[in-house]
């Protein structure tokens, strides 16, 4: 039976979800509002949420009088006396923010609904199998915590009937050691589709903290969506200026270099990573690259060669997002358009400011590849 | 300084002319400048480059030090200049207006590069909203141009072993 409090809690959760959905664009744009709560959940400040509270009536609300007055003066009821000197404030209230915890799975679902993102169609067939323990059998031995009461008592009943110890008028069943039945597991092979997301970020001198903040926000939402689509997705990070290297997540988001921009260096590390660790026949590969597009001189030619020969043929999608630096966007995105005109695996997006993150995510993930 | 004086003389001879390529040399260093328009006070140029073989073996650390020093001296342009990217692979230091000039028409900035090989150069860029970045003419007085030539030359001197 569902208790009232559970029903109320469910209703309250629905209201919270509705508010989050309403403000999702703001949360996407201002990623700093979202706090991490462990691996699988985030906390989100929800504004103007009417938290249920008690309202007191007038009865008994009068207290002991204080201030000027004579013995015998009547006390006015609340709301009836003359108004005090203080007036209503003219500034709007700051509003109450309630931090609500949302699982990343729920957040991804909201993102999918809000942006109308299609479900991703995994490349190839699900040909990787993993073993999963499933409690689907019964054994005579096992820990007491796994004892199957119903089967134990059924077995005891059978024994008592066959041995003539069962008295229908006085049905008393007492299991003995041999009657005990325990739940047990079997290893069940489960088909699993493997996926890897490789994030590449330009950390050269022309990329400021603001650009990296945009990249971080966008990468967070993309990661949330992909994690929802693929169980156990692998995530790898590459940073580059003139030289590229694979780094951990923290370094990816917190490094600032001052080197020149050679995008080909990141492509080379990415191609090597795919070749050595993520063979394309077994893996769904997603690459997300972010740069201000200010690539040095002759590097475009090398970068395009790597992209054409080693990356585009093996990835599900190669997404390039060009953020705008204080010096404006570079020419890399235009060169990509010219070189790979409408290539099916290449998705391009320009991100001039925070507000463009929303549409950029939709561009990247909207194809459901 | 002979290079600077020769360059100023060449500029004066171009007053009233358009689209002229200036090239003056002192044997070791050559100044190249595409003058788009020149009048008695100043000139609109598409770029200004000092080329020299003296920087053939310059290392990135020396180029970086010289670029910082150059940025400290070139304080007479429309915006302050500072090093933005230091490319150790290609041995190039890129300096730009910091911050760039912004208005309703987009943004403009100077870009200077000091590279192994070598050269020191200046170009002005403009980026209009929704358009690609393009090099645009830099309008500078003759006096500013002569100071740039002198400062470029000092930058090369600073890279060379003392």
Distance of CA A356 to the CA centre of its chain: 20
CB atoms within 10 A of CB A5: 8
Instruction: Determine contact: B68 vs chain A, CB below 8 A.
Output: no
What are φ and ψ of residue A21, in 5° steps?
A: -60, -45
Cross-chain residue pair A327–B107, CB shorter than 8 Å = yes
Q: What is the pLDDT of residues A157-203, one digit of tens each?
A: 999 999 988 888 888 888 998 899 999 988 776 656 788 999 999 99
Q: Which residue has the higher pLDDT, A165 or B143?
A: B143
Token readout for B134 is: 């393009």
Tokens 């008695």: give the residue. B40
Q: What is the pLDDT of residues B61-120, one digit of tens each?
A: 999 999 999 999 999 999 999 999 998 888 999 999 999 999 998 999 999 999 999 899
Instruction: Determine contact: B64 vs chain A, CB below 8 A.
Output: no
- Region A15-30: mean pLDDT is 79
Question: How high is the pLDDT of residue A126?
Answer: 47
Cross-chain residue pair B89–A262, CB shorter than 8 Å = yes
Q: What is the pLDDT of residues A98-109, one digit of tens each?
A: 677 778 788 888
Q: What is the 3-state secondary structure (H, E, C) of B90-102?
A: CCEEEEEECCCEE
Q: Which residue has the higher pLDDT, A90 or B124?
A: B124
Distance CA B85, CA A260 (A): 5
Consecutive H or E run containing B158:
helix B142-159
User: Strand, coil or helix: what is A8?
Assistant: helix
Residues of chain B neighbouring A351 (CB-CB closer than 8 A): none
CATH 3.40.50.410 domain locations along chain A? 194-365
Burial of B19 (0-12, 13-18, 19+ CB in 10 A): exposed
To the question of pTM greater than 0.80 for the whole model, the response is no
Distance CA A310, CA A198 (A): 14
What are φ and ψ of residue A271, in 5° steps?
A: -65, -40
Q: Nearest-CA neighbor of A31 among A165, A170, A178, A222?
A: A222
To the nearest whole Å, the CA of A286 is away from the closest chain B CA by: 28
* Percentage of chain B exceeding pLDDT 70: 99
- A179 Cβ contact list (under 8 Å, min separation 6): A152, A153, A155, A156, A159
Report DSSP state, residue A345: T
Are A121 and A183 contacting, i.e. CB atoms less than 8 angstroms apart?
no
**Upstream peptide bond of B99 is cis (omega within 30 degrees of 0):** yes
Tell me what percent of chain B is helix, strand and coil, each rounded to the nearest 5: 30, 45, 25
Token readout for B22 is: 């200036």
Residues of chain A neighbouring B116 (CB-CB closer than 8 A): none
Which of A139-148, A251-260, A284-293, B139-148 has the weakest average pLDDT? A251-260
Residues of chain A neighbouring B83 (CB-CB closer than 8 A): 205, 258
Residues of chain A neighbouring B112 (CB-CB closer than 8 A): none
Q: Which residue has the higher pLDDT, A82 or A229?
A: A229
Cross-chain residue pair A241–B133, CB shorter than 8 Å = no
The pLDDT mean for chain A works out to 81
Report DSSP state, residue A76: P
Mutate to test the interface with B, among A243, A328, A338 (most CBs of B within 10 A): A328
To the nearest whole Å, the CA of B155 is away from the closest chain A CA by: 20
Residue B38's domain comprises 2-159
Whole-number CA gyration radius for chain A = 31
Q: What is the pLDDT of residues A47-76, one digit of tens each?
A: 655 666 777 776 655 555 566 667 777 666
Instruction: Report the greatest alpha carbon distance in chain B.
Output: 48
Q: Nearest-CA neighbor of B109 among B128, B91, B86?
A: B128
Mutate to test the interface with B, among A241, A326, A330, A336 (most CBs of B within 10 A): A326
Distance of CA B32 to the CA centre of its chain: 10
Token readout for A351 is: 């991100």
Domain spanning A194-365: CATH superfamily: von Willebrand factor, type A domain (3.40.50.410)
Question: How high is the pLDDT of residue A91?
Answer: 54
The domain tally of chain B equals 1
Which of A58-72, A263-277, B46-60, B72-86 has the weakest average pLDDT? A58-72
- Region B14-34: mean pLDDT is 93
């Amino acid at each position: 039976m569902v208790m009232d409090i559970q029903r109320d809690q469910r209703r309250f959760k629905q209201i919270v979800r509705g508010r989050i959905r309403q403000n999702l664009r703001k949360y996407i744009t201002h990623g700093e509002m979202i706090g991490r709560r462990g691996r699988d959940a985030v906390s989100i400040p929800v504004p103007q949420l009417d938290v249920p509270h008690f309202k007191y009536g007038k009865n008994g609300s009068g207290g002991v009088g204080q201030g000027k007055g004579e013995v015998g003066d009547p006390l006015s009821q609340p709301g009836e006396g003359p108004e005090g000197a203080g007036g209503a404030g003219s500034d709007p209230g700051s509003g109450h923010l309630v931090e609500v915890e949302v699982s990343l799975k729920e957040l991804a679902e909201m993102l999918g609904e809000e942006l109308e993102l299609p479900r991703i169609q995994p490349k190839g067939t699900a040909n990787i199998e993993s073993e999963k323990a499933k409690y689907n059998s019964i054994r005579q031995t096992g820990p007491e915590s796994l004892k199957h009461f119903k089967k134990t008592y059924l077995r005891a009943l059978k024994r008592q009937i066959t041995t003539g110890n069962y008295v229908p008028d006085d049905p008393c069943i007492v299991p003995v050691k041999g009657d005990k039945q325990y739940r047990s597991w079997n290893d069940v092979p489960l088909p699993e589709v493997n996926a890897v997301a490789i994030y590449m970020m330009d950390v050269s001198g022309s990329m400021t903290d603001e650009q990296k903040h945009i990249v971080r926000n966008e990468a967070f939402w993309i990661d949330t969506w992909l994690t929802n689509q693929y169980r156990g997705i692998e995530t790898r990070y590459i940073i580059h200026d003139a030289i590229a290297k694979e780094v951990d997540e923290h370094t990816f988001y917190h490094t600032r270099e001052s080197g020149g921009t050679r995008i080909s260096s990141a492509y080379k590390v990415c191609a090597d990573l795919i070749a050595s660790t993520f063979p394309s026949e077994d893996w769904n590969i997603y690459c997300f690259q972010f740069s201000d597009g200010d690539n040095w001189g002759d590097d475009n030619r090398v970068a395009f060669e790597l992209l054409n020969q080693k990356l585009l043929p093996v990835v599900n999608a190669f997404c390039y997002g060009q953020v705008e630096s204080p010096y404006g966007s570079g020419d890399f995105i235009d060169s990509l358009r010219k070189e790979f005109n409408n290539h099916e695996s290449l998705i391009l997006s320009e991100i001039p400011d925070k507000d463009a993150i929303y549409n950029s995510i939709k561009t990247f993930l909207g194809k459901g590849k | 300084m002979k290079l600077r004086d020769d360059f100023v003389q060449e500029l004066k001879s171009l007053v009233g002319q358009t689209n002229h390529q200036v090239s003056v040399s002192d044997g070791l260093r050559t100044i190249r400048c595409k003058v788009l328009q020149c009048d008695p006070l100043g000139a609109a140029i598409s770029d200004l480059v000092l080329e020299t073989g003296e920087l053939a073996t310059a290392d990135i650390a020396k180029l970086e030090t010289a670029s910082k020093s150059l940025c400290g001296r070139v304080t007479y342009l429309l915006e302050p200049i500072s090093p933005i990217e230091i490319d150790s692979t290609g041995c190039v230091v890129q300096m730009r207006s910091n911050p760039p000039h912004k208005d309703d028409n987009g943004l403009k900035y100077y870009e200077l590069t000091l590279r192994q090989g070598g050269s020191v150069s200046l170009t002005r860029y403009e980026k209009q909203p929704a358009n690609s970045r393009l090099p645009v003419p830099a309008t500078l007085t003759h006096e500013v141009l002569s100071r740039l030539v002198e400062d470029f030359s000092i930058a090369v001197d600073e890279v060379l072993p003392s």
